[in-house]
Structures are given as structure tokens and as C-alpha cells.
């Protein structure tokens, strides 16, 4: 194993680097999770999470991965034998489909090419044909981490409404929340699924469900067995800032600090920063003469950029060279993209200098691996970043009480 000096560059699209400020916030003694002190912490993170999800409704926090939050969404809204409509946008949409099927739910899986997001038109057409309202939910991944493609959730909501269909809208924001503009209430989402280790800039270990009144009503009549994941069992003690079982106390300390950081910068400024860094990354990729996997500019991910390798060159071998020589981790291609793409994460605590360092590592790696490219991609990204910063970028940090 090669030993390197300096800090490791973690440029995968999650888990994202944990800011020092969040690490310090978690460096606390464990406290009594039945105490008044804990109740204050619990209320702060539950109410603060609502601001990030942009909802006035409940946000439920589980000690879990995002996969656990997926399961909580399913078992609280659906019943065995139900039918759902899902869209094949990539590896994680496929995994969610597999989980749904294990619960005895029929999945109508709209095929996709992994280079586009969910088509609102196709979703609307399927729902219009479902005159008997057999489809109980539409399930979409907002930001497909395996491909660097986002789906237009507001347009999908509009398609559901135009079809006058009562299906629930269930959305995975595991890699987008806190990094990409997202509006749970305004877009009429019924369950938003997320987790701690992406835009929240925390270690893995927290799963989230933001839920609408319609989703909660479905949970009171559906027939799926559940215990650990039961929303109602969480909501009762949550009203006082508590949890029904031992919570991940120190992660909640970190969550409180992470929410404060997001709100101090301002969510619109956070989203603008991610868009700016993503555009600079694409400028570098274009200059190198490589191809971005996402084919629709309106669906470019602000969180990551998936890059296709030229024919005859293996993405995993390239990633190994970058790691061994320059101490930087890039995201692997997943499932049918294994060896074909590498993924550059630019989310969470990432700024212009961090990004330029990462892109320098990629360009050095392209040369070391003998991948045909045109030198100067980093300079192209720098030229883009030298342009005017968006008007909503922060000039000064605000002090925010969550």
C-alpha cells in the first residue's frame, strides 16, 4: 500500500468529506437520551431538517443507512399485492425496484438508457392508461448517483396531476438533498427519502423520511408488517424531541451543526455553488475530449459528473492509478457501467480550490494511465470559475438558530 503525505482527496459522490466543524460537534460525551438536554437536541434536528426538506410536515430520522429509509418508505405506504410505477434511471433505481419486489409488490418498471432522467411524459401516459387506479405510487430517484443524471420532480408531479391520478409520489433524494434544489411541499411529494452522508456532510448512519398527510393516512390503512420502521411509533415520542429507541446521539450533534452550516450559507447559495462547481467540472471534461454520461443538459447533476472512458481503456484501472499516485478516490462505475465510467463527486464541503485540486488529480491520472486526452482541462475549469459568481452566492455568513 502506497503511503502519502497530505490529506486524502475523497471525490466519490458520497460519503462526502465531513467538515471539521461537524467533526468537532460530534466530539461530545454521550448523554442520557431521556433527558431534557437531549430533548432540546432532538427538537432542534427535527425542526431543522424540515427547513432542508422544505416541508412543514414531519421529518422522521432513523438510525439507519439510506437503504433503511427506502424500506421505511415502502412498509409505511404500500401493501403486498399493490402495484407501483418506477423508472429505470440507473443502478440505484434498480436496487430500489428489487427491494419493492421483495415485499410482494408488483413493479411496472419503465425502461431507461441510464443517460436520461425520468420522463414526465412517459409517467403521465402510463397513469392516464391506468383508469382503474391500480398504480398506488410513482417512485423516482431524484439524483441517480450511478449516472450523474437528475430527474425533474416538479414536472413529474405535474404529469401526475394532469392525469388526475391519486398515486403517491415517493422520491429518493439520497444523493441530492442539501446539494440540489428540492421542495417537498411545493412539489407535492408524499415521501422524500434521504440519508446523512451526502449533502448533510455527516458520516453514514442516519436515514430520513419526510412525509405528507396523504402518505401518513396511507400508513394508517396499509397492510405491510413493520416494527422498527413504523412512522407512528416514531412520531409519538418525536413530539417531545425523543425517540422510541436509542438514537444515534452523536450523529444528531453533527446533524445540528450541519444544518446550521447549510442555513448560514443559505440553501439557494448552496445550490448555486454546486451548480457552479459541476459546470466547471464539465468544462474540464469537454476540454479533455472525454464524454459526460448524462445526455440532457437540463438533467446534469450538480452533485457528481460521470465520465465515459474512451474505448479500450478501463475506468477501474484508471481509478487505481489515481489513488496510488495522487491519493484521490474517484467513484466507480456500477452495475452495467463497471469499468466504463468514473465519477467525480463535487458535493458537500467543496469549493473552487478543492475542485481544482481534484481535477488536477484527474488530469495527472489521465496522463499516467495513457488515456488519450487534450491537456488543459484544469485551465478550462479555472477559466469558467473566473467568471462572475451568481448573485445569490453568499458574501457573509448569517448566524442562524435552528
CATH number reported for the structural domain that contains residue 166 in this entry:
3.40.640.10
The answer on 302 and 256 residing in a single domain is no
Chain centroid to CA 162: how far?
27
The answer on 123 and 85 residing in a single domain is yes
> What pLDDT does 396 receive?
34
Residue 395 lies in a domain: no
With 60 as the cut, is the pLDDT of residue 341 above it? yes
Average pLDDT, integer, range 121-142: 98
The answer on 235 and 274 residing in a single domain is no
| Domain end point (choices 205, 239, 263) | 263
What share of the chain has pLDDT > 70, as a percent?
96
The answer on 202 and 347 residing in a single domain is no
The answer on 87 and 26 residing in a single domain is yes
Binding-site residues sit at 343
> What pLDDT does 5 receive?
84
| Helices 249-265/267-288 angle, 10° precision | 80
Please report where in the chains the cell 461530545 appears, as a residue: 28
The answer on 337 and 306 residing in a single domain is yes
CATH number reported for the structural domain that contains residue 344 in this entry:
3.90.1150.10
Binding-site residues for substrate sit at 343
The answer on 223 and 181 residing in a single domain is yes
Residue 4 lies in a domain: no
| Domain end point (choices 248, 263, 278) | 263
The Cα-based distances of 78 to 183, 209, 396 in angstroms read 23, 15, 46
Q: For residue 92, what are the domain limits?
A: 20-263
Report the mean per-residue pLDDT for the chain.
95
Angle at CA 106, nearest 5°, toward 225 and 338? 105
Give pLDDT tens digits for 170-212: 999 999 999 999 999 999 999 999 999 999 999 999 999 999 9
Residue 99 lies in a domain: yes
Give pLDDT tens digits for 135-154: 999 999 999 999 999 999 99
pLDDT tier at 388 (50, 70, 90 boundaries)? confident
Give pLDDT tens digits for 34-90: 999 999 999 999 999 999 999 999 999 999 999 999 999 999 999 999 999 999 999
Chain centroid to CA 154: how far?
17
When divided into structural domains, the chain yields a total of 2
> What pLDDT does 390 receive?
55
Residue 393 lies in a domain: no
Average pLDDT, integer, range 97-122: 97
Q: What one-character DSSP code corresponds to residue 62?
A: E
pLDDT tier at 393 (50, 70, 90 boundaries)? very low
| Domain end point (choices 226, 246, 263) | 263
Whole-number Å distance between alpha carbons of 356 and 100: 40
The answer on 253 and 112 residing in a single domain is yes
Which residues pair with residue 261 across a beta bridge?
none
User: Is 160 within 8 Å of 138 (Cβ atoms)?
Assistant: yes
User: Is 89 within 8 Å of 141 (Cβ atoms)?
Assistant: yes
What share of the chain has pLDDT > 90, as a percent?
94
Residue 2 lies in a domain: no
The Cα-based distances of 182 to 48, 187, 276, 285, 384 in angstroms read 15, 8, 17, 27, 26
Residue 303 lies in a domain: yes
The answer on 286 and 150 residing in a single domain is no
pLDDT tier at 397 (50, 70, 90 boundaries)? very low
Residue 142 lies in a domain: yes
With 60 as the cut, is the pLDDT of residue 295 above it? yes
The answer on 25 and 117 residing in a single domain is yes
The answer on 280 and 339 residing in a single domain is yes
pTM summary value: 0.94
Average pLDDT, integer, range 342-348: 98
Residue 127 lies in a domain: yes
In degrees rounded to 5, what are phi and psi of residue 230? -70, 120
Whole-number Å distance between alpha carbons of 203 and 250: 11
The answer on 237 and 112 residing in a single domain is yes
- Helix H or strand E encompassing 124: helix 120-129
> What pLDDT does 2 receive?
67
> What pLDDT does 391 receive?
38
Whole-number Å distance between alpha carbons of 307 and 341: 5
Least confident of 347-351, 360-364, 385-389: 385-389
Amino acid at each position: 500500500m502506497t503511503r502519502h503525505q497530505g490529506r486524502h482527496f475523497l471525490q466519490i459522490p458520497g460519503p462526502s468529506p465531513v467538515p471539521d466543524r461537524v467533526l468537532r460537534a460530534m466530539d461530545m460525551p454521550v448523554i442520557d437520551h431521556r433527558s431534557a438536554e437531549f430533548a432540546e437536541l432532538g427538537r432542534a434536528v427535527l425542526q431543522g431538517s424540515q427547513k432542508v426538506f422544505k416541508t412543514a410536515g414531519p421529518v422522521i430520522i432513523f438510525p439507519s443507512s439510506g437503504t433503511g429509509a427506502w424500506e421505511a418508505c415502502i412498509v409505511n405506504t404500500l401493501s403486498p399485492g399493490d402495484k407501483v410505477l418506477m423508472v429505470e434511471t440507473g443502478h440505484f433505481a434498480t436496487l430500489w425496484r428489487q427491494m419493492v419486489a421483495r415485499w410482494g409488490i408488483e413493479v411496472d418498471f419503465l425502461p431507461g438508457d441510464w443517460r436520461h432522467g425520468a420522463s414526465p411524459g412517459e409517467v403521465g401516459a402510463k397513469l392516464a392508461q391506468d383508469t382503474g387506479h391500480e398504480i398506488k405510487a410513482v417512485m423516482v430517484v431524484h439524483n441517480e448517483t450511478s449516472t450523474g443524471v437528475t430527474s425533474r420532480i416538479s414536472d413529474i408531479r405535474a404529469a401526475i396531476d394532469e392525469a388526475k391520478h391519486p398515486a403517491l409520489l415517493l422520491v429518493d433524494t439520497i444523493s441530492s438533498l442539501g446539494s440540489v434544489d428540492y421542495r417537498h411541499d411545493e412539489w407535492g411529494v408524499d415521501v422524500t427519502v434521504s440519508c446523512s452522508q451526502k449533502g448533510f456532510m455527516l458520516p453514514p448512519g442516519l436515514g430520513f423520511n419526510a412525509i405528507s398527510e396523504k402518505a401518513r393516512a396511507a400508513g394508517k390503512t396499509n397492510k405491510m408488517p413493520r416494527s422498527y420502521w413504523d412512522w407512528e411509533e416514531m412520531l409519538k415520542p418525536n413530539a417531545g424531541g425523543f425517540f422510541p429507541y436509542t438514537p444515534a446521539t452523536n450523529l444528531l450533534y453533527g446533524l445540528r451543526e450541519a444544518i446550521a452550516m447549510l442555513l448560514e450559507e443559505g440553501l439557494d447559495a448552496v445550490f448555486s455553488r454546486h451548480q457552479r462547481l459541476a459546470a466547471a467540472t464539465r468544462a474540464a471534461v469537454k476540454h479533455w475530449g472525454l464524454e459526460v454520461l448524462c445526455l440532457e443538459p437540463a438533467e446534469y447533476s450538480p452533485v457528481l459528473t460521470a465520465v465515459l472512458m474512451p474505448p479500450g481503456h478501463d475506468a477501474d484501472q484508471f481509478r487505481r492509478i489515481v489513488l496510488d499516485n495522487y491519493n484521490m478516490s474517484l467513484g466507480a462505475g456500477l452495475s452495467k457501467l463497471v469499468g466504463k465510467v468514473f465519477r467525480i463527486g463535487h458535493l458537500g464541503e467543496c469549493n473552487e480550490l478543492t475542485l481544482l485540486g481534484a481535477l488536477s488529480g484527474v488530469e495527472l491520472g489521465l496522463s499516467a494511465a495513457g488515456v488519450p486526452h487534450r491537456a488543459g482541462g484544469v485551465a478550462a475549469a479555472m477559466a469558467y470559475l473566473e467568471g462572475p459568481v451568481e448573485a445569490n452566492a453568499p458574501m457573509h455568513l448569517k448566524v442562524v438558530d435552528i
